[in-house]
Structures are given as structure tokens and as C-alpha cells.
């Protein structure tokens, strides 16, 4: 796959269709892959990388990149194409300046899960028939994919590319039976006290690094409400449980109805807070109350919080006190 | 001598200027009583109520927050309360999901002619919150005296 992608990138750079390539390159190690913009053929040959650690969603970088001179080539995994579509719907990226190539994805490996299995010193990874072959400095290891795959990939909602100019590999299909709401349902079944305890345990670890906000492809405001110096919460660590709760409720609320469930928030959280559970709760609520809606599937669709029905459910029936 | 303080809840009521605020006024003119624990904040439309307002009210010491607006279909701005309804539905559901007592938040549609309903709703709501006790789960100790 990497060879094919590299070849196409070089061709498109060579014939002048694009003047930059947005892709992934290795960080200090092969598993801490970082997004990168390549400007020359040499850079692509030297640094371009695509492997089973390339989890980063590149669509958000296009907000800035698509406003620069010339066309940019971007590689999008299926879940990234939903974010891409959503950004088009919100007029946040300029489609004409982008050449999008869809790439197949069968789920990305989680380095921490590999480490937990005692696999360290990783120098490479390959996937074949649901099994990863991990090359390490101590020799090769094989491991079943589902054992070390990132959680968000285990409940992948769709392997279908919803937007692209060109495809490498197959178009893929929506995963009907993804069970992504299992954990939300489990929480809903708990008593309020148990839920409160659960979330206190999770959210109290928050260090307010803002990584979840910065990575989120739906959070693209030029000035964020959390950067407002008068808000009392700008650029500082949460000092008590209220601020933790407020930050996470408002963060999730601001992307309600627009979140495509790409799972980047949980991936980047240094404290491993399952932030996607907040977003999924909103997605689930929107689905139950206002009909099935998948953000990013169709850029023409109206967002659920931007429209209404006369016979919508009353708040008292959903979560507040009954009237 | 022991000084036992009776718990009096603090209630914040966001009232739409065109309906519920006038409803409260009517309740007053008609001499229908409602507890003084309810502090009314006048907003131009129920749609003005940002989810942050609700959380801020709890932060600053409210024990319950109620939002009152025009009946669906009667919005002064045509559709504001329909949007507010969707927003509050999701927000309240989320608060419930985080384990915050669902009785602490409420939405009620009260028209300018429903002074009696205003007084009845506020009495009921204050009773509910008094029974629930102090808001502990969304409190900010820095804001408490």
C-alpha cells in the first residue's frame, strides 16, 4: 500500500496537479507516526510512511492547508472521509484546492496494547488475514489483530469512503453491526450514582491539555469559547470537579450533531479518558430522538441541531425532570 | 444553643421575555404566591439560553435550574423555542448520563396568560429540589460562601 501511495504522490507532484502532499511520516519511532506536509519528491521518497500505526485523521489540517497557494494532495482513510465531508458541509475547507485519495484501512494497531503484550522495540508492522506481524529488534512476533487493535477500530462504523477523487483499493462498505453504542448502553443501565462515580473517575484525570479539542476535526472555530479570557476557564488546568465536568460537557455539546465519531479525541488523550463515550451519547440520542443521522455521510444534509420538528420529544421525557 | 438552619434551595429560572416573564408578572398581579427561592433571569427567548448558562448557574450555587419559554408554536421569533427544545433535550440527557440528578433541570412552557401555571410549576419545582437537597455534583467550592 505504501508503495502505491508513494508512486501516486510522486506522479501527481511530478505532473504539477498538486504542489504539496499531506500524509504521514515517522516520528522518533515507527509507531509514533505524525502528520506531515511534503513539498518535494525527495521528501516523499525519504519520509512518507503509511503503516498500521497511521491513525491520525488528516482532514482537519486541510482547514489551513486548503487556503494556501496551489492544490494539495491528501490521503484519507474511510473514517477520515466523513470528517472531510463534514468540513465541506460547514464550508471550512476549500474543496477545489484538494486532491483526495481514499486509502483502504482495516483498523489501526494500538502501540500501547502491543506494549502491554510485551512487544517492544518495534521496527515495523504488517497485517495479513487478521494477523499482525510485528518486526522488533528482538525478532518477529505475530499477534491476532483484534487483540491489539485500537478500541475505536474494533467498533468501526464504516469502511466506506464517502468522498474522494481517486481510490486506492476498494471503496469499502458501511459496517452495519458495529456495536459502537455497547458501552453507552452499559452506562445508561447503571444507576445515577454509579454513573457519577464512573465519570468522576474518568474526568478527574483530565489535565486540560486541550488535545481533544485541538485534534477534533469538528472543532475548527477560529476562537474557541475556552480561549476566551473572560470565561474563567481559558488555558488553565481544571482546578475542581466542576470545571472538569463543564469542559467536557461543553466540548462534547459543541460538536453534537456534527461529530462523525472518528475517535481522535480518545486516541490523543494522554490520560486515556474515554471521551468518545460522551460524543457517542449525543450521537445515540440524536439517532433515537430525531432519526438516524450520520454526520459527514451526506454534505447536503441538515444538521440535527439546525432544524426541528413540531412534535419533537420534550426535554422532560429525555433527561430532565418530567413535567 | 444550637442553630439548625433550614435548607432553602436556590433556584434559577430562565424566563422568556414574551411569555414566561409576563406569566410571572401575572402571577404577581393575581396574588398567586411562589417561593422567593426562585430567582428569575429574563432572556429575550428561550433559545438565548446557552448550555453554558445552565452549567454556570449550578457553578454559582444554584440547586436547580428551570427554563421557561413560550409554548411550542407560539415563539415570538417563530421558531426559537423549537431549537431550544432540541438543545435542552440533549443537554439534560447528557447531565443524566454523567450522573447528575435529572430532577435538577427542567423545561416548562408557560404563556403570558398562565400566571397560575407559573406559580404551580415553581412551587412544585422548589418542593422537588428541597427534597433532593443541596447540589453537590455540579458545585464549585470557590463560589460557595
| B2 assigned to some structural domain | no
What pLDDT score does B94 carry?
93
Cα–Cα distance between A86 and A70 in angstroms, integer? 22
pTM recorded for the entire structure: 0.91
Three-state secondary structure readout of chain A: CHHHHHHHHHHHHHCCCCCEEEEEECCCCCCCCEEEEECCHHHHHHHECCCCCCCCCCHHHHHHHCCCCCCEEEEECHHHHHHHHHHHHCCCCCHHHEEEEEECCCCCECHHHHHHCCCCCEEEEEEECCEEEEEECCEEEEEEHHHHECHHHHCCCECCCCCCCEEECCCCCECCCCCCCHHHHHHHCCCHHHHHHHHHHHHCCCCCCCHHHHHCCCCCCCCCHHHCHHHCCCCCCCCCHHHHHHHHHHHHHHCCCCCCCCCHHHHHCCCCCCCHHHHHHHHHHHHHHHCCCCCCCCCCCCCHHHCCCCCCCCHHHHCCCCC
Name which of A249, A282, A321 is nearest B106 (Cβ-Cβ). Answer: A321
| B20 assigned to some structural domain | yes
- The radius of gyration of chain B's CA atoms, rounded to the nearest angstrom, is 15
Residue in A with minimal Cα distance to B82? A308
Cα–Cα distance between A286 and A305 in angstroms, integer? 9
What pLDDT score does B5 carry?
76
Which set of grid coordinates corresponds to residue B95?
447531565
Q: How confident is the model at residue B1 (pLDDT cuts 50, 70, 90)?
A: low
Q: Which residue has the cell 490521503?
A: A75
Q: Is the dihedral of CA A135, A140, A146, A148 positive or negative?
A: negative
What pLDDT score does B2 carry?
64
How many structural domains is chain B composed of?
Answer: 1
Residue in B with minimal Cα distance to A312? B86
Q: Tens digit of pLDDT for each residue in B83-114?
A: 999 999 999 999 999 998 889 999 999 999 99
What pLDDT score does A250 carry?
93
> Does B3 score more than 70 pLDDT?
no
Question: Is residue A251 within 8 Å of A299, Cβ to Cβ?
Answer: no
Q: How confident is the model at residue B142 (pLDDT cuts 50, 70, 90)?
A: confident
Q: Which residue has the cell 471503496?
A: A171
Distance from the Cα of residue A141 to its chain's centroid = 28
Q: Which residues of A touch B107 (CB under 8 A)?
A: 314-316, 320, 323
CATH number of the domain that B96 lies in? 3.40.50
Residue B64: which domain range?
11-143
In chain A, positions 191-230, which contact chain B (CB-CB < 8 Å)?
192-199, 225
Q: Which residues of A touch B101 (CB under 8 A)?
A: 192
In sequence order, the β-bridge partners of residue A36 are: A23
Name which of A250, A285, A321 is nearest B105 (Cβ-Cβ). Answer: A321
Name which of A239, A249, A310 is nearest B94 (Cβ-Cβ). Answer: A249
Q: Tens digit of pLDDT for each residue in A261-292?
A: 999 999 999 999 999 999 999 999 999 999 99
Regions of chain A short of the pLDDT cut 70: 235, 319-323
Q: Tens digit of pLDDT for each residue in B62-78?
A: 999 999 999 999 999 99
Residue in A with minimal Cα distance to B93? A319
| B1 assigned to some structural domain | no
What pLDDT score does A323 carry?
47
Percent of chain B with pLDDT over 70: 97
| B81 assigned to some structural domain | yes
Q: In this predicted complex, what is the ipTM? A: 0.90
| B5 assigned to some structural domain | no
Which set of grid coordinates corresponds to residue A188?
445508561
DSSP code of B50?
Answer: -
DSSP code of B65?
Answer: E
Q: Do A246 and B52 touch (CB under 8 A)?
A: yes
Does B105 reach chain A within 8 Å, measured CB to CB? yes
Using DSSP bridges, classify how beta strands B105-109 and B64-69 pair: parallel, antiparallel or unpaired.
Answer: parallel
What pLDDT score does A128 carry?
85
Amino acid at each position: 500500500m505504501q508503495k502505491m501511495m508513494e508512486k501516486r504522490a510522486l506522479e501527481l507532484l511530478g505532473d504539477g496537479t498538486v504542489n504539496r502532499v499531506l500524509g504521514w511520516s515517522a516520528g522518533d519511532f515507527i509507531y509514533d507516526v505524525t502528520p506531515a506536509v511534503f513539498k518535494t519528491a525527495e521528501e516523499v521518497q525519504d519520509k512518507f510512511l503509511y503503516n498500521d500505526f497511521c491513525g491520525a485523521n488528516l482532514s482537519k489540517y486541510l482547514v489551513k492547508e486548503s487556503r494556501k497557494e496551489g492544490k494539495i494532495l491528501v490521503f484519507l482513510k474511510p473514517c477520515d472521509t466523513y470528517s472531510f465531508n463534514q468540513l465541506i458541509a460547514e464550508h471550512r475547507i476549500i474543496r477545489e484546492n484538494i486532491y483526495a485519495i481514499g486509502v483502504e484501512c482495516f483498523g489501526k494497531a494500538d502501540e500501547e496494547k502491543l506494549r502491554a503484550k510485551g512487544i517492544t522495540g518495534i521496527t515495523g508492522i504488517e497485517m495479513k488475514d487478521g494477523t499482525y506481524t510485528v518486526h522488533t529488534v528482538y525478532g518477529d512476533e505475530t499477534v491476532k489483530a483484534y487483540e491489539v487493535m485500537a478500541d475505536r477500530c474494533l467498533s468501526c462504523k464504516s469502511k466506506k469512503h464517502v468522498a474522494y477523487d481517486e481510490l486506492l483499493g476498494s471503496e469499502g462498505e458501511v459496517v452495519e453491526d458495529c456495536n459502537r453504542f455497547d458501552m453507552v448502553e452499559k452506562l445508561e443501565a447503571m444507576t445515577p450514582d454509579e454513573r457519577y462515580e464512573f465519570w468522576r473517575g474518568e474526568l478527574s484525570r483530565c489535565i486540560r491539555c486541550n488535545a481533544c479539542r485541538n485534534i477534533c476535526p469538528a472543532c475548527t472555530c477560529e476562537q474557541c469559547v475556552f480561549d476566551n479570557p473572560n470565561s474563567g476557564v481559558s488555558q488553565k488546568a481544571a482546578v475542581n470537579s466542576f470545571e472538569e465536568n463543564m469542559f467536557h460537557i461543553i466540548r462534547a455539546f459543541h460538536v453534537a450533531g456534527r461529530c462523525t465519531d472518528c475517535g481522535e479525541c480518545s486516541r490523543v488523550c494522554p490520560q486515556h479518558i474515554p471521551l468518545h463515550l460522551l460524543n457517542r451519547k449525543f450521537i445515540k440520542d440524536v439517532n433515537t430522538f430525531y432519526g438516524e443521522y450520520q454526520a459527514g455521510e451526506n454534505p447536503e444534509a441538515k444538521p440535527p441541531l439546525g432544524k426541528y420538528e413540531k412534535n419533537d420529544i420534550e426535554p422532560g421525557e429525555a433527561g430532565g425532570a418530567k413535567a | 444553643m444550637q442553630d439548625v438552619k433550614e435548607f432553602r434551595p436556590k433556584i434559577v429560572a430562565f424566563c422568556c421575555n414574551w411569555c414566561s416573564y409576563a406569566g410571572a408578572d401575572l402571577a404577581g398581579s393575581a396574588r398567586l404566591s411562589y417561593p422567593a427561592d426562585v430567582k428569575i433571569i429574563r432572556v429575550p427567548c428561550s433559545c438565548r439560553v446557552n448550555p453554558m448558562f445552565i452549567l454556570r448557574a449550578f457553578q454559582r450555587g444554584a440547586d436547580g435550574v428551570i427554563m421557561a419559554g413560550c409554548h411550542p408554536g407560539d415563539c415570538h421569533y417563530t421558531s426559537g423555542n423549537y431549537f431550544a427544545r432540541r438543545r435542552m433535550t440533549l443537554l439534560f440527557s447528557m447531565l443524566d448520563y454523567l450522573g447528575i440528578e435529572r430532577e435538577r433541570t427542567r423545561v416548562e412552557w408557560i404563556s403570558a396568560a398562565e400566571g397560575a401555571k407559573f406559580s404551580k410549576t415553581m412551587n412544585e419545582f422548589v418542593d422537588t429540589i428541597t427534597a433532593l437537597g443541596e447540589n453537590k455534583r455540579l458545585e464549585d467550592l470557590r463560589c460557595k460562601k
